Amino acid sequence: MSGGTILCSVVNDGFTPGFVVMERSLRETNPEWNFPIRVIHSSINPLSEQSIAVIEDHCDNVEFVLADDRMLAPIHRYAREVIKTPERLFPAFSILEAFQWSDAKQVIALDSDMIILGSLEPLRHAVRPFNACRARMTIGNEPANFFNTGVMVLNRSLLQGFHLWDIPTMLGERKPKRGTGKADQAILNILFRNEFVGYLPQRFNYTKRSLQFDLEKSGVRLPATTEEIRDFMAARDTRVFHFVGEKPWVPKIKYAELEHEAAEQIWHDAVYRYGKPSLFVLLEQLRRQWQKRFVAAVRQVRAEKPGMVDEARLNVGMGM
């Protein structure tokens, strides 16, 4: 590594469209940021040749890092036995790979389900060894007593002393804080206590759920249009918009997710602006895969528990 700032994101085939939009929007809104961005993918579920080709077709200064899941095996064991993490979430732990890049001055980790709306330069001046935005409670949107791992800034003093093999000892049998989930966010919130964290302003990790709550509280007439949402976030100086929950490029399975349709149009406008044919081919392939999987799952539930699934609502959510 060069010893400077390194950007990174964990990506799998299903998140490749999100990563492309995140990286393209970052380069557009931060044209002076020519830092390399490392795509971390798990050896459990590595990126396909097609996804790698799509990323290379769209993105600048990208490096691919295959996480060594043999090194992560003790963490997987803890996750499986102590917090009951399903194995489908194990690739999320690959972000821990970035914590041991000891010859980097700084690592800025960004989730691949985001769109960058403004300058991220203040992140380069975060002073604590570990920096992130505070999570928000599901009820009331109040600040939580833990952080969201969607945006993290790791500085040299942390990177020089962090070793993956120390994590299982540090974790022991400790349980994660309620609300932190069952993947990397749960473990990192055990490792880094509140007093250690440099909390970043919410504008650097503003979620679509917080947006919905703030719109309702502000008196904006709902449902808001996409342009009203753009103006609302611009007035709040939002730099990073985070599509937590179901993703804009995924067919909707939860009816409640449809209330985010206008906000997600921001992502769709971006993908049509940035996308080349290779990305749209991948999106169509993913859509067909998800549709087959979801419909098969719903039919199984309907067969086992008749009347539990409203197929009309499912079809609306999936655009069928």
pLDDT tens series, the chain, 320 aa:
456 999 999 999 999 999 999 999 999 999 999 999 999 999 999 999 999 999 999 999 999 999 988 889 999 999 999 999 999 999 999 999 999 999 899 999 999 999 999 999 999 999 999 999 999 998 888 999 999 999 999 999 999 888 888 888 888 888 998 899 999 999 999 999 888 999 999 999 999 999 999 999 998 888 999 999 999 999 999 999 999 999 999 987 777 788 899 999 999 999 999 999 999 999 999 999 988 877 777 777 777 777 665 554 554 444 43
Q: What tens digit of pLDDT does each residue of 186-195 get?
A: 999 999 988 8
Coil, strand or helix: which one is 6?
strand
Residues 247, 317: Cα–Cα separation, whole Å: 12
Give all strands of the β-sheet with 114-116 in edge-to-edge order.
114-116, 240-242, 206-207
pLDDT at position 260: 93
Q: What's the confidence (pLDDT) of residue 310?
A: 57
**Residue 319: per-residue pLDDT:** 43
CA dist 180 and 188 (Å) reads 9
Question: Which two structure tokens, joined as six digits, stand for 52?
Answer: 């790698």
What is the reported pLDDT for 40?
Answer: 98
pLDDT at 17: 98
> Can you tell me whether residue 36 is helix, strand or coil?
coil
Query: Taking a C-beta distance cutoff of 8 angstroms, is the pair 261, 212 a contact?
Result: no
Cβ atoms of 36 and 98 within 8 Å: the answer is no
Q: What is the reported pTM? A: 0.91
pLDDT by residue (tens digit) across 104-147?
A: 999 999 999 999 999 999 999 999 999 999 999 988 889 999 99
> Which pLDDT score is estimated for 251?
83
Q: How far apart are CA 188 and CA 215, in angstroms?
A: 31
Residue 122 and residue 190 in contact, taking contact as beta carbons nearer than 8 Å: no
Instruction: State residue 306's pLDDT score.
Output: 73
